[in-house]
Amino acid sequence: MKRTLLCTLALIAIIGCSPASRSPDAIRQDTAAATATATKDAKALAQGVFDGLKEKGPLNINRATEDQLETLPGINAATAHRIIAARPFSDSRDLLKRHVVSKAEYDRIAGKIVAK
């Protein structure tokens, strides 16, 4: 008798602690929400990768903004302003020819710029 009562109480405790079964509709709704979130995140990730790849090319010194020029190594706001003021350039070496930047500054950025 004690065993039966103990087993019954144990069974009730196990059933009471187990998660309630969910309806198929609730599972479908949760799956749809998770899929929508994953799709949105995947699109944002793909756009970030695309933007990152697009920006890896050389910077056009005839069209770059001051902020973009400042991303070049050793180029500060004053130098970026001088570059913009001296536009247009037919060749990136015009930066040296016109004394817009020093030889050392040009050597640091030469592979990262173009003049189009």
Q: What is the pLDDT of residues 42-53, one digit of tens each?
A: 777 777 666 655
User: Who has greater pLDDT, 13 or 63?
Assistant: 63
What are the residues facing 114 on neighbouring strands?
60
If you count DSSP H runs as helices and E runs as strands, how many of each does the chain have, helices first? Answer: 6, 2
Mean pLDDT of 24-33: 86
CA distance 89 to 3: 94
Q: What is the span of the domain harbouring residue 83?
A: 59-114
Is 33 inside any structural domain? no
Number of domains the chain contains: 1
User: Who has greater pLDDT, 97 or 52?
Assistant: 97
Model pTM? 0.53
CA distance 87 to 63: 9
Q: Return the pLDDT at 76.
A: 94
Is 74 inside any structural domain? yes
Is 101 inside any structural domain? yes
Is 12 inside any structural domain? no
Q: What percent of the chain has pLDDT over 70?
A: 84
Mean pLDDT of 54-73: 88
Which CATH number do you get for residue 77? 1.10.150.320
φ, ψ at 8 (rounded to 5°): -65, -45
Which string of DSSP letters, residue by residue, matches 58-88? Answer: PEETTT--HHHHTTSTT--HHHHHHHHHT--
Q: What percent of the chain has pLDDT over 90?
A: 50
Contact indicator for 79, 97 with CB cutoff of 8 Å: no
